[in-house]
Chain A
Amino acid sequence: MDRIPILKLGKALLVTIQVDMHDRLATALEEDLTAKIVAVGAKGVLIDISALEIVDSFIGRMLDNIAAVSRILDADTVVVGMRPAVAITLVELGLSLSGVKTALNVERGMALIQSRLEQFDADDED
C-alpha cells in the first residue's frame, strides 16, 4: 500500500500531502505519524495541505486526531497551506478544526514550531 512520506527536520516532522487521499491512506498517515513522533522525540509536526483540493469530514477528522494525539505525546501540530476555497467549504460543512493550529504557509508554520522549540531549549537550561 502507498504511504505518505514523513520527513524529519531537526526536532520537527514535515508531511506534504500531494495526492488525493483515499481513506486508508489517511488512516495510515495518522498511525505512521504517531509512531514517528515517539521514535524521533519530535516536538513539532508540520502538515502542508496546499495541494489538497478538498478537505472533507474524514480528512478533517484525521487532522484533528493527529493534533490531539501529538499533543498528548508533547508535540505541536501546525496545518499549513489551506486553500481559501477549502477553508470556506470546511466552515460551511460544519468543521472548524478548533483543535488544530494553522498557519498560512510552511515558513510561518515552521516559525511557530521553532518558537516552541526555543522555549523547550530554554526550559532545558533551567
Chain B
Amino acid sequence: MPTTRTDRLDIRSSDDVVKVRQQTRTMAVEAGLSLVDQTKIITAASELARNTLDYGGGGEMRLEVVEDGGRRGVRLTFEDRGPGIADIAQAMRDGFTTGSGLGLGLGGAKRLSNEFSIDSKPGIGTKIMIARWKA
C-alpha cells in the first residue's frame, strides 16, 4: 500500500496530545476525508495519544496518508515501550480502565476507525494502528 506522506510525532506531554490532533487534522484534510470522518479520526487519535501518554509512559506516533487501489485514507500508528497490556480483550471493553479515565479510549478508537489493530506484549510495549478511508 503506497504512502504519499509520512510524519512522526513524539508523545511526551499533554501539549503533544494537542499536536497529535492538529497534525491528524492536516493529514485527514490532505487525504480528502469528509468533515465527519476527519472529526472521527482526530477524536480516535486523541484517545490513543492520551493512552500512549498515561499508560505507555509516552511514545511516538506515525502519521501516513495512504493510497490503496485508488482510495485514499489516513493511517496512524501509536507505539510505546510501556508495561504492555496483559489482557487485550479486557482492555478493549468499554468501561474497563486501570487508570482514572472512563475506559472508552480503546473501544471508542476502534469504533471511530475503519481499521484497527493492536499488538501488545507485557514488559515490552504496545503498538496500535488505526486507519480511516475516504468514503
Q: Which residues on A are within 8 Å of B, measured CB to CB?
A: 20-24, 53-58, 60-61, 83-86, 88-89, 92-95
Contact = CB atoms under 8 A, between A and B. Distances in A.
Interface majority SS (helix, strand, loop, mixed), chain A: helix
Interface string B30-66: 0000011011101100110010000000000000000
A17 B22 CA distance: 17
Interface of B: 14-15, 17-18, 21-22, 25, 35-36, 38-40, 42-43, 46-47, 50, 94, 101-102, 104-105, 107-108, 111-112
Contacts of A56: 43, 46-47, 50
A93 B36 contact: no
A84 B15 CA distance: 26
B102 A54 contact: no
Given A53-B42, A89-B39, A94-B107, 13 more contacts: A20-B18, A20-B21, A21-B18, A53-B21, A53-B25, A56-B47, A56-B50, A58-B46, A83-B39, A92-B40, A92-B111, A93-B47, A95-B108
Contacts of A60: 102
